[in-house]
Amino acid sequence: MVDSCQAPQGFLAAVHDAVGAEHCLSDADLKASYELDWTRRFGGPALVVVRPANTSEVASVLAACSRFQVAVVPQGGNTGLVGGSVPRGGEAVLSLGRLNRVLSCDPDEGLLVAEAGTTLATAQAAAASVHAALGIDIAARDSATLGGMVATNAGGIHVIRHGPMRARLGGIEVVLADGTVASRLSGLVKDNVGYDLAQIMTGSEGTLGVVTKVVLHLVPLLPFRVTALIGLRGFAHSAADSAAGVRAVSQVAVALAARLRRRVDCIDALELVYADGMALVREVMGLPAPPDPGADAWLLVEASGGQDPSGMLAEAIENAPGVTEIAVADEAGGRARLWAYRERHTEAIATLGVAHKLDLTLPMNALAEFAGAVRSEVSAALGGGTDTRVILFGHVGDGNLHVNLIGPEPEDYRADDAVFRMVIQRGGSISAEHGVGIAKLDFVTAARSSGDLTVMRRMKSALDPGGILNPGVLLPPVG
Ligand code: FAD
Ligand code: MLT
Ligand code: ZN
């Protein structure tokens, strides 16, 4: 395997032939943005950045990579947060950015078909133009691509209603490592002829094939949508940022989320932010005071329906334990202002430095206890007395917490490991929605049974026998 920035003789000529010399970037300045990921924690030099325009060009590039044994990193919008989208040292980057067309969007069939480099926002706009929606949304919508979202099985803010990317997918076209094109784009809901190509590729993080087209199921664009930001206070007598304080308000949030899901049948989103994250977002983004500015945490809830869900929502929130003040909005501008407190967490945290971004699922009955305990575990892992900041937020409706550590050096994994151990002890998952990448490799073996891992490894060697597709990502080295 070629693992330095020295291309084997003939390789560059082959990829120039495949895509045109102007779409092969070798200049350091032109390659730079493809070589560092969104977190700035992960990256390395690329042998070359290749930008094909269509499926057959992708096939030719992969055939050349196979022939010359050049490792290749597929890249969409490069918004991934686990180091899987960037070279580690000397791989070719295969950018899907030029495959960016929506090919069809048919509300009667209920399907959108698009090339893999299409951004989520572009696909959402195409769906909206026929009064439909995709049922999936993430804050990185303007850059994240459909192919990247399939490859990571992206989750986001509508999972509790419509599931993750896996559930939205109706078909796929993918190019295998040797250039073979495998296509299943019919979008049929019932089609049981053997293995499911789209599902095999979902969550494979560029290790089994390169996605070139995606079929997504549409959902109705419902006429009434209401967003509420709810101030919460815990019942602890301790300070809000103490372990007991965080645990207490997290218990309130988990209980309120469950109550809302029981009583309101059209909830799209249930998101949680805490006082420290709220203060940071307000300061960095210059946002006005939220409802109950002194709250310990806020639950953001969004519901949509054929009829106005406001009344049902208000009734469900009324007299709920721990609720202090509420702001409600039912038009786009007002809803966006409420969402900003939650969605801008990622950008605000990035201003503090290179964050270690740990994306976890906890069983609901363990989430509050975990949230209370995580700071002291991080501090202990770092030898105590550090000034590491730990900022939590997440998709509380499905048990997904984002734990952001700011302080440890990028290559210092002591705190990451301690948090992953906590999660495994509590029966959770070390990757809720961002994938494994290279950030979580050491914990894959603890998170999966050995039989399960054997299946993954055999799939990898069957589909990519030369091991050229995103080597080092997702599957830990054997032994
Ligand atoms: P990239 O970052 O380019 O790649 C990600 C992985 O997919 C890599 O392993 C890459 O090799 C592989 N890949 C990319 N394209 C292809 C392809 N065509 N074929 C095969 N493999 C491919 N994620 C969530 O799940 N939920 C969220 O709510 C969420 N919010 C975010 C908010 C912000 C502000 C940011 C910066 C990120 C967020 N993310 C979220 C993470 C990220 O947006 C997702 O992981 C997204 O799916 C990545 O898409 P991408 O096109 O940027 O992929
Ligand atoms: C989010 O939910 O905002 C994302 O997954 C991004 C992040 O974890 O920062
Ligand atoms: Zn998320």
The hierarchical CATH code for the domain 102-220 is 3.30.465.10
**Tokens linked to 41:** 């924690």
What is the layout of strands, in order, in the sheet containing 297-305?
323-329, 224-232, 297-305, 267-274, 389-395, 400-406, 356-361
DSSP string, 394-427: EEGGGTEEEEEEESS-TT--HHHHHHHHHHHHTT
- Could you tell me which CATH class the domain 352-436 is placed in? alpha beta
Nearest ligand, CA 117? 1
Record: fold of 11-95: 3.30.43
Dihedral angle, C-alpha 324, 330, 333, 335, nearest 10 °: 50
CATH 3.30.43.10 boundaries in the chain: 11-95
pLDDT at 15: 98
Query: How do the pLDDT tens digits run along the chain, 479 residues long?
Result: 544 578 999 999 999 999 999 999 999 999 999 999 999 999 999 999 999 999 999 999 999 999 999 999 999 999 999 999 999 999 999 999 999 999 999 999 999 999 999 999 999 999 999 999 999 999 999 999 999 999 999 999 999 999 999 999 999 999 999 999 999 999 999 999 999 999 999 999 999 999 999 999 999 999 999 999 999 999 866 777 789 999 999 999 999 999 999 999 999 999 999 999 999 999 999 999 999 999 999 999 999 999 999 999 999 999 999 999 999 999 999 999 999 999 999 999 999 999 999 999 999 999 999 999 999 999 999 998 778 999 999 999 999 999 999 999 999 999 999 999 999 999 999 999 999 999 999 999 999 999 999 999 999 999 999 999 999 999 999 87
Residue 386 is predicted with a pLDDT of 74
* CA of 205, closest atom in ligand 1: 9
Which of 273, 346, 398 is the pocket-test mutation for ligand 2 (most atoms within 8 Å of CB)? 346
Crossing angle (nearest 10°) for helices 55-68 and 11-19: 170
Ligand 1 neighbourhood includes 145 CB (under 6 angstroms): yes
> How far is it, in rounded angstroms, from Cα 416 to Cα 374?
11
CATH architecture of the domain with range 224-347: 2-Layer Sandwich (3.30)
Any atom of ligand 1 within 6 Å of the Cβ of 399: no
Pairing of strands 267-274, 356-361: unpaired
Contact 75, 95 (CB under 8 A): yes
Element (DSSP H or E) covering residue 220? strand 219-220
What pLDDT sits at residue 241?
75
8 Å CB contact between 248 and 260: no
Residue intervals of the chain classified under CATH 3.30.70.2740 are 352-436
String of DSSP letters for 48-60 = EEE--SSHHHHHH
Q: Which residues line ligand 2 (CB under 6 A)?
A: 139, 346, 357, 359, 402
Q: How far is the CA of 203 from the centre of ligand 1 (A)?
A: 10
- 332 and 250 in contact (C-beta within 8 Å)? no
